[in-house]
Each structure stands twice: as structure tokens, then as C-alpha cells.
């Protein structure tokens, strides 16, 4: 193990170097550009044996990844925001063909207005594409999760995107514990592929036309794979922890057990919010936090277990779902708690769109409003934090 | 004070043409161009090359610099065929 | 020491404010601290006022919000103080270190600084004498250590040297000149009487 000062971009690129995928097809985009740039230099310097395909768009990047993965290769790419949006139609194909591709995704707002900074609209847009989604609290987790993602993808035969917050993590240097190359190699083992088109003795067809008679069954199969993914993600997170000391699960509960008021949050804001929880605890206020590490598959059981007995819950959304009723994480958590008899009231806080900074004081205000609600005060269900009224 | 969401025009449009004139970039400068009128032949190469439209021209005559926008890049001094523009250190 | 020390660097695009924060962050990491180093990103343009930041702590750093109340402010270009409020958010007991040929007393009067500790260093002059170009970022590292003692000077030098050696593999003379600049700045940084 080495201790290095790395940004999330550098850390994810380093993980890719250690994974040494067979094929990387990528098109650089802010704020994920450096991932592709660093990886390209690893290729140029002969540090990896990867076939690097510098394509002309993200649509082509994912298409090339699909071709390579169908041939049996271990495949990775990286993108952000508009890049992920341009990949959109091909994302569904990767998932439905059950190809274990991994994306290092940097969260960035979607245009318009044009903006390069962090929010989660890009990956929320890909929420229903059939990809497993893992969100990182910090760059260490981004690094660790990229390595785990390869293993998860190859056990579930589903593609995985690991995300880190644009600029906040992608361009911020922090202390990272980097594993030895050999440790990564041993942890991952040989690539496992669902099938290969290159086995000429056993020829197969990939991507056939599938109409009213078969399409539904294939989708049912894909849905089952997603339904069965949680224990795989947990097992890989546990195995990673046993080997390297950092354990990961589907969710990350923080001081939640005896909490009366909890916020649900994703990405780097969780770290800031944990500081706020500590401060409130010192003041004797029973605050807690649930960080959603995995959004797809939705960890329904964990949502219920961790939140069912809370007095009041606040869901922090770094995206606007444009549903007319709050952000996308809010509706997910709300739906998750529907079956709990006398479920706690849930309030939504949309924040940080387009990289708007979220300060500890603002999170404290959110908690204050939630504690007020717990004491019987009426507050709006959907709130915007940090927007100019 | 920046506008709140209720006051802004829809679609993120900017209703006013040429509003970038309000964005003053003169303070990015660490060196500033100074014109020697004796040498200047009014060829207006500086006006052609200036990336920030910061050369003041009246009736075909070079009159000086729009210091509120000039970033001090020095392209005018470089391109001036008679070396009539000198870049000098910006005083603090 | 406070739980987390926060630093803000003011510079102009191209002056190396980001690099300074990264070099300093890595040096702090090498002494066993937890660190963050990040620039403020916008449309990057040469000459435009820019900022970068550090957090340092003996414990893991979880906070990921922007820095609004730094303990230490460094100003890499003397002309910046005209337009940018470099004192913003700096508390009474904060430290400000400015690249200027003026004395701390002159700067205090000029900017009307109340409280705080003021340090000055002529980083341009030092850079011209050593590197041969007015690059203020590495000398400011020397000034930062002199003014605050936040890291061990020799250890910081060692770390910066290693990092620069990686960056300038083919031009070792650049490394030596930068190290010389840091040492000179460490000697020449002036505080108030």
C-alpha cells in the first residue's frame, strides 16, 4: 500500500491502470477529461497492455466497449454529463446484452444553461438504463469502488458506473491509500465474461431482433439480474474490506441507530453532512444520516431498516427530477418507505445544482427545519436550499 | 445583487445585446500598452489584432487603449510595424 | 492546532496558484497529515484573478464544501489587492502573506488591515534572481512556512524537490532554481515588529 496525494480523476485513472483492462474506448469530457488523459499516457508509456480506442464521440465509445465486451474482453471507459447523455441509447444495449462494462463517471450538470460543475442529473438520467450505479463520498471511495465495480460487473453480468462529484472530488487532491498492483490483480482474478463472439467453434448471435414473442422474457431476465445484484455488491464490498481494511455496503448509515431526525444524501455532500451530524450530536440533538452508496439496484431493504423508525426524514437531492414533485432521490426514498405502516414524514431538499456550494451551515439549517417539523411545525414537502428566491 | 429565480427571463436568455462590455477585464493586466503618438502611422494593425476590441479608433486614427478591457496581452505591441506601442509594468 | 487549517491562495491565471496549493498539499501529506488541495474552477484565463485552497488536518477530512473563512491567505500578485478583497472571511487572528516589495506596515496602512498578522515577501524579485522569470508560486511556499511554521521547512523542501523532479525530469536545473527561490523567500519574508 502506498499513500499518495491524488484527485478523484487521478485515483480512478490509477485504478484503471492497475486493472489493466483489455480495451478502453473513451472520449474525454470535462470534468472527466483527466481520467482519459492519464490513462492515454499510461498506454503511451507502456504501463498497461490495454487496446486504447480514441473514438470520435461517447456514443461510439460505448458502442466500441460493447463490441469489445461481447468479444470477451474486460472493458472500461470514462465520461461525464453530456457524454453520458450522448451514450444514452447505447447504455441500454450494454445492460441488456449483459456485458460487464465499467464506467468511471464524473457527475456534472446537464445543459442548458451550459455548466461544467457538479450535480447528479447526468447519472439520474441513466438511472433506468439497467446499469448498477455506485456513488462516491470521496476520492478514496471512488478508487476503491472502481476496483470493486469490475468484480461486481463480472459476477452480476451487468455493467456498472462508479461516480464521483465533478470538481469537488474530480479535481480536489486528497490523501489516498493506493493498493499494490499485485493486490488489485489478485483481488480481481481473470476476467469473467458471459459469452464471446470470438469462439468460432461455438458461434453465437449477439443482439438479435426480439419482438413480441421474446423481448418481454429477456427484459424479465435482466430485471432479475438487477434484483439479485445487492448481495453481490455486498459480498464484493466485504471481501474488499477483509483484504484491504475498507468495508463497503449498499448504504452508509452514520449515527443513525438512535437518531430521531435523519437526512438521506449521496456523494461528497455526505462527508460535509457527517461533520454537521457530529456537531448536532455534541449539542445533544439526535441527528443521523443515511448515505446512498448504491442507487441501482435500489437498496429497498436497507432504506426500510435504517429509516423506518425515524421521526422525520429529509432527503437531499443534487438533481431536479422535473416531476413537479421534488427530486428523484426523494421520490425513490418515499416510495421505499411506502410499505412501512405509519411511515415517517419525508421532506425534500434540492440543493447544489450546477455546482452551487453547499455549506455546513446550510445543512445545519436543513436539520433545524426537520427538528422543527418533528416538533409539530408545518414545513413544505419540497424545498430548495441555496437558491436565490 | 444578483437576481432571484423569479426575476430572471425564461430559457436562460440574456435580453441585452453586447452586455459583455460590462464585464471589465482590465484588472487582469500586469503590463499595460502605452502609445507613442510620434511613431504611430495609424495603420490600425493593433485594432485588427487586438483580441479584446480595446483599441480606440476615431476617424481612422489610433487614439489609445480601452484600459477597462485591455488584458495586457501585448499582441498590439508585437504586431505594431513601427514599434509605437510599448508594454510597461502596471503600477500597483 | 485547530482541527482543520484552511488556506486560500490568490493569484492570476498562469501564476501557479493551483500548483502552489498542490505542492503544499503534497508536502503536508508527506509529513503524515490529511490534506485537501483544490482550485476554484471557472473559465480559466491567463491574468484573471483565481483562487486555490488547502485543508490540512491530523484527522481524516470529510468536509467537501468551499472555504469561506480561511486561517491563512496568500496573495501571489501585488496588483490583485486593488480589485479582489483578499481579506474576505479572514478572521482577526488570521495570517495574510503578500508578494510585494513593500513592508508589512506599509501594506497594513494601504489596505487598512485591522488585526491579523501581515507578512510580505518580494517573490517576483526572488523569482527573477533565481528562476529568471517572475513565477511567484514556489517562493510563496517558503514564505508560508516562515510566517506560520505550519510544516517543517526541510521536510517541505524535500517533498517539493521530489515533486518538481518528477515534473521536470529532463530539466533538473529548474528544480534547483525553484528550491533556491523557496529558501531565499524563507529568509527574506518580513513580519511586523
CA A325 to mean position of chain CA atoms: 23
Residue A382 has pLDDT above 60, yes or no: yes
Residue that is written with C-alpha cell 436550499 in the block? A385
CB contact set of C12 (below 8 Å; sequence gap of 6+):
B28, B30, C46, C47, C48, C49, C50, C76, C77, C80
Contact C80, C103 (CB under 8 A): no
Q: Note the pLDDT tens digit of each residue in A62-111.
A: 999 999 999 999 999 999 999 999 999 999 999 999 999 999 999 999 99
**Interchain contact, B27 vs C12, CB within 8 Å:** no
Nearest C-alpha of chain C: how many angstroms from B59? 32
Comparing alpha-carbon positions, the chain A residue that sits nearest to B13 is A113
Contact call for C13 and B28, based on CB within 8 A: yes
Contact A5 C68 (CB under 8 A): no
- Residues of C (131-160) whose Cβ lies below 8 Å from B: none
Q: What mean pLDDT comes out for the span A53-68?
A: 98
* Phi and psi at residue C128, to the nearest 5°: -65, -40
Upstream peptide bond of B36 is cis (omega within 30 degrees of 0): no
Which residues in B lie closer than 8 A to residue A110 (C-beta atoms)?
none
* pLDDT above 70 (res C44): no
Q: Which residues contact A361 (CB under 8 A, 6 or more apart)?
A: none
Rounded CA-CA distance A69/A94 in Å is 9
CATH class of B24-89: alpha beta
At residue A8, the 3 state secondary structure works out as helix
- Chain C: nearest CA to B60, how far in angstroms? 30
pLDDT tens column, B71-92: 999 999 999 999 999 999 877 6
C81 near A CB under 8 A: no
Using CA atoms, how far apart are residues A319 and C175, in angstroms rounded to an integer?
Answer: 45
- pLDDT number for residue C193: 77
Lowest mean pLDDT among A256-270, A298-312, C1-15: C1-15
Contacts of A113 in chain B (CB under 8 A): 12
Domain ranges of chain B: 24-89
Distance of alpha carbon A366 from alpha carbon A272, whole angstroms: 13
B43 Cα to chain C: minimum distance (Å): 28
Q: In this predicted structure, which of A39-43, A183-187, A339-343 has the lowest mean pLDDT?
A: A339-343
| Alpha-carbon separation of residue B22 from C80, C117, C190 (angstroms) | 20, 36, 39
Q: What residues in B contact A387, CB-CB < 8 Å?
A: 4-5
Question: Where exactly are the structural domains of chain A?
Answer: 2-243, 251-385
CA distance A123 to A103: 11
In this model, does residue A192 exceed pLDDT 90? Answer: yes
- Residue range B26-36, pLDDT digits in tens: 988 878 999 99
Specify whether domain C4-188 bears CATH 3.30.1490.20: no
Contacts of C60 in chain A (CB under 8 A): 175
CA C90, distance to chain mean position in Å, is 15
Contact A126, A93 (CB under 8 A): no
Cβ distance of C62 and A272 shorter than 8 Å = yes
> Residues of C with CB below 8 A from B31's CB?
none
**Percentage of the residues of chain C whose pLDDT score is greater than 70:** 98
Share of chain B above pLDDT 70, in %: 99
Residue A345: Cβ within 10 Å count: 16
Cell numbers at A75, concatenated: 472493458
pLDDT of residue C41: 81
Pull the grid cell for residue A279. 456537531
Q: Is the peptide bond before A31 cis (omega within 30 degrees of 0)?
A: yes
CA angle at residue A366 from A365 to A367, to 5 degrees? 90
CA geometry: angle at C31 spanning C26 and C37, to 5°?
A: 30
Q: How far is A201 from chain C (nearest CA, A)?
A: 50
Confidence grade of residue A122 (pLDDT, cut at 50, 70, 90): very high
Give dist(CA A116, CA A242) in Å, integer. 38
pLDDT greater than 80 at residue A353: yes
Total length of chain A: 389
- Residue of chain C minimizing CA distance to B29: C47
Distance separating alpha carbons of residues C103 and C119, to the nearest angstrom = 8
Read off the pLDDT band of A6 (50, 70, 90). very high
d(CA A207, CA C63): 46
CA distance C49 to chain B (A): 7
* Residue A21 near residue A71 (C-beta atoms within 8 A): no
ipTM over 0.85: yes
Nearest to C83 among B27, B71, B73 (CB): B27
Answer for the pair A169, A136: CB distance below 8 angstroms, yes or no.
yes
Cα A130 to the center of its chain, rounded Å = 13
Q: How far apart are CA B31 and CA B25, in angstroms?
A: 13
Question: How many CB atoms neighbour CB C88 within 10 A?
Answer: 12
pLDDT tens track for C101-157? 999 999 999 999 999 999 999 999 999 999 999 899 999 999 999 999 999 999 999
Contacts of A341 (CB under 8 A, 6+ apart): none
| pLDDT on residue B91 | 72
**E strand spans, C102-171:** 117-121
| All partners of chain A with 3 or more CB pairs under 8 angstroms | B, C
DSSP code at position C76? S
Beta strand A294-296 pairing with A132-135: antiparallel
On the question of pLDDT at B15 being above 70, the answer is yes
If you search the block for the grid coordinates 441513466, which residue do you land on? A126
- In this model, does residue B59 exceed pLDDT 90? yes
The answer to whether residue A239 scores a pLDDT higher than 60 is yes
Span A300-323, mean pLDDT? 97
Provide the CB-side half-sphere exposure for B70 (13 A, CA).
Answer: 24
Q: Is B29 on the interface with C (CB under 8 A)?
A: yes
Task: State yes or no: pLDDT of C1 exceeds 60.
Answer: no
- Looking at A259-268, C29-38, C77-86, which range is the least confident one? C77-86
Element (H, E) at A175: strand A173-178
Closest CA–CA distance from residue C107 to any residue of chain A (Å): 32
Q: What residues of A are in contact with residue C26 (Cβ under 8 Å)? A: 5, 173
In residues, how long is chain C? 193
C-alpha cell at A150: 469490475
What is the predicted pLDDT for the residue at A166? Answer: 98
Asked whether residue A52 carries a pLDDT value surpassing 60, the answer given is yes
What's the mean per-residue pLDDT of chain C?
94
Given pLDDT bands bounded at 50, 70 and 90, which one contains residue C79?
A: confident
CB atoms C48 and B28 under 8 Å: yes
Least CB-CB distance to A175: which of C22, C35, C38? Answer: C35
A51-54 and A75-80 strand pairing: unpaired
String of b and e for B47-68 (b: at least 16 CB within 10 Å)? beebebebbeeeeeebeebbbe
Measure C34 CA to nearest chain A CA, in Å: 6
Which chains would you list as touching B if contact means 3+ CB atom pairs under 8 Å?
Answer: A, C
Taking residues A123-143, report their average pLDDT. 98
β-bridge mates for residue C120, sequence order: C98, C190
Find the mean pLDDT for residues C87-96.
97
Helix (H, G, I), strand (E, B) or coil at B20: helix
Residue A78 near residue A166, CB atoms below 8 Å: no
Query: Is residue C42 predicted with pLDDT exceeding 80?
Result: no
Interface contact C79, partner B, CB < 8 A: yes
Q: Please indicate whether, in this complex, the C-beta atoms of A389 and B2 are within 8 angstroms of each other.
A: no
Closest B-chain CA to C78:
B92
- C22 neighbourhood in chain A, CB within 8 Å: 5, 173
User: Counting beta carbons within 10 angstroms of the beta carbon of residue C133, is it exposed (0 to 12), middle (13 to 18) or buried (19 or more)?
Assistant: exposed
How far is it, in rounded angstroms, from Cα A2 to Cα B25?
Answer: 44
Domain A251-385: which CATH class?
A: alpha beta
CATH number for region A2-243: 3.40.50.970
DSSP calls for A286-342: -EEEEEESEEES--HHHHHHHHTT-SEEEEEESS---SSSS-HHHHHHHHHTTTSTT
Average of per-residue pLDDT values in chain A:
97
Cβ-Cβ contacts under 8 Å, A383 against chain B:
none
Please give the average per-residue pLDDT across A166-187, as a whole number.
98
pLDDT at B90: 78
Same fold, A2-243 and A251-385: yes
* Contact at CB, B30 and C47, closer than 8 angstroms: yes
Q: How far is it, in rounded angstroms, from Cα B40 to Cα B63?
A: 10
Chain C nearest C-alpha distance from A10 (Å): 13
Q: How many Cβ pairs closer than 8 A exist between chain A and C?
A: 63
Number of residues in chain B:
92
Asked if A388 lies within 8 A of B12 by C-beta distance, the reply is no
Amino acid at each position: 500500500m502506498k499513500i499518495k496525494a491524488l484527485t478523484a480523476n487521478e485515483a480512478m485513472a490509477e485504478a484503471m491502470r492497475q486493472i489493466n483492462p483489455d480495451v478502453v474506448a473513451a472520449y474525454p469530457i470535462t470534468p472527466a477529461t483527466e481520467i482519459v488523459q492519464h490513462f492515454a499516457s499510461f498506454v503511451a508509456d507502456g504501463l498497461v497492455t490495454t487496446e486504447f480506442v480514441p473514438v470520435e464521440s461517447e456514443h461510439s465509445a460505448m458502442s466500441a466497449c460493447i463490441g469489445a465486451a461481447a468479444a470477451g474482453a474486460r472493458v472500461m471507459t470514462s465520461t461525464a454529463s453530456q457524454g453520458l447523455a450522448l451514450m444514452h441509447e447505447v447504455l441500454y444495449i450494454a445492460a441488456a446484452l449483459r456485458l460487464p462494462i465499467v464506467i468511471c463517471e464524473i457527475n456534472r450538470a446537464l445543459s442548458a444553461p451550459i455548466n461544467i460543475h457538479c450535480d447528479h442529473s447526468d447519472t439520474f438520467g441513466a438511472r433506468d438504463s439497467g446499469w448498477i450505479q455506485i456513488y462516491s463520498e470521496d476520492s478514496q471511495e471512488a478508487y476503491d469502488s472502481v476496483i470493486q465495480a469490475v468484480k461486481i460487473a463480472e459476477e452480476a453480468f451487468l455493467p456498472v458506473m462508479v461516480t464521483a462529484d465533478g470538481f469537488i472530488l474530480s479535481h480536489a487532491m486528497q490523501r489516498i491509500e493506493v493498493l499494490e498492483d499485485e493486490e488489485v490483480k489478485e483481488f480481481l482474478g481473470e476476467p469473467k465474461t458471459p459469452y464471446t463472439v470470438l469462439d468460432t467453434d461455438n458461434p453465437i448471435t449477439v443482439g438479435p431482433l426480439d419482438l413480441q414473442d421474446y423481448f418481454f422474457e429477456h427484459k424479465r431476465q435482466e430485471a432479475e439480474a438487477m434484483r439479485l445484484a445487492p448481495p453481490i455488491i455486498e459480498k464484493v464490498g466485504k471481501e474488499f474490506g477483509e483484504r484491504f481494511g475498507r468495508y463497503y455496503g449498499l448504504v452508509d448509515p452514520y449515527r443513525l441507530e438512535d437518531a430521531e431526525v435523519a437526512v438521506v444524501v449521496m456523494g461528497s455532500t455526505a462527508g460535509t453532512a457527517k461533520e454537521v451530524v457530529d456537531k448536532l450530536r455534541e449539542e445533544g440533538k439526535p441527528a443521523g444520516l443515511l448515505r446512498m452508496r448504491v442507487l441501482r439496484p435500489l437498496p429497498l431493504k436497507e432504506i426500510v431498516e435504517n429509516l423506518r423508525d425515524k421521526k422525520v426524514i429529509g432527503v437531499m437531492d443534487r438533481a431536479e427530477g422535473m416531476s413537479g414533485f421534488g427530486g428523484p432521490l426523494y421520490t425513490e426514498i418515499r416510495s421505499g418507505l411506502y410499505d412501512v405502516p405509519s411511515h415517517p414524514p419525508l421532506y425534500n431538499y434540492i440543493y447544489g445544482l450546477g455546482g452551487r456550494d453547499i455549506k455546513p451551515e446550510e445543512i445545519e439549517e436543513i436539520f433545524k427545519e426537520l427538528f422543527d417539523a418533528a416538533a409539530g411545525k408545518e414545513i413544505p414537502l419540497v424545498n430548495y436550499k441555496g437558491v436565490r428566491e | 445583487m444578483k437576481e432571484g429565480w423569479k426575476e430572471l427571463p425564461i430559457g436562460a436568455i440574456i435580453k441585452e445585446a453586447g452586455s459583455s462590455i460590462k464585464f471589465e477585464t482590465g484588472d487582469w493586466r500586469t503590463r499595460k500598452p502605452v502609445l507613442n503618438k510620434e511613431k504611430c502611422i495609424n495603420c490600425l494593425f493593433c485594432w485588427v489584432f487586438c483580441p479584446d476590441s480595446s483599441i480606440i479608433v476615431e476617424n481612422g486614427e489610433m487614439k489609445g487603449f480601452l484600459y477597462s478591457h485591455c488584458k495586457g496581452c501585448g499582441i498590439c505591441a508585437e504586431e505594431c510595424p513601427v514599434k509605437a506601442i510599448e508594454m510597461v509594468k502596471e503600477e500597483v | 492546532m485547530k482541527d482543520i487549517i484552511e488556506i486560500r491562495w490568490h493569484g492570476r491565471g498562469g501564476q501557479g496558484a493551483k500548483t502552489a496549493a498542490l505542492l503544499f498539499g503534497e508536502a503536508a501529506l508527506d509529513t503524515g497529515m490529511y490534506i485537501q488541495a483544490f482550485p476554484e474552477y471557472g473559465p480559466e484565463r491567463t491574468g484573471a484573478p483565481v483562487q486555490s485552497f488547502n485543508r490540512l488536518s491530523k484527522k481524516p477530512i470529510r468536509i467537501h464544501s468551499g472555504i469561506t473563512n480561511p486561517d491563512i491567505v496568500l496573495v501571489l500578485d501585488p496588483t490583485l489587492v486593488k480589485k479582489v478583497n483578499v481579506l474576505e472571511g479572514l478572521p482577526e487572528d488570521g495570517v495574510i502573506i503578500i508578494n510585494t516589495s513593500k513592508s508589512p506596515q506599509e501594506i497594513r496602512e494601504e489596505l487598512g488591515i485591522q488585526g491579523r498578522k501581515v507578512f510580505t515577501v518580494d517573490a517576483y524579485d526572488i523569482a527573477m534572481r533565481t528562476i529568471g522569470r517572475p513565477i511567484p508560486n514556489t517562493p510563496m511556499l517558503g514564505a508560508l512556512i516562515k510566517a506560520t511554521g505550519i510544516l517543517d521547512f526541510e521536510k517541505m523542501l524535500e517533498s517539493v524537490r521530489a515533486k518538481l523532479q518528477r515534473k521536470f525530469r529532463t530539466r533538473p536545473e529548474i528544480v534547483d532554481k525553484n528550491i533556491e527561490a523557496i529558501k531565499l523567500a524563507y529568509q527574506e519574508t518580513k513580519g511586523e515588529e
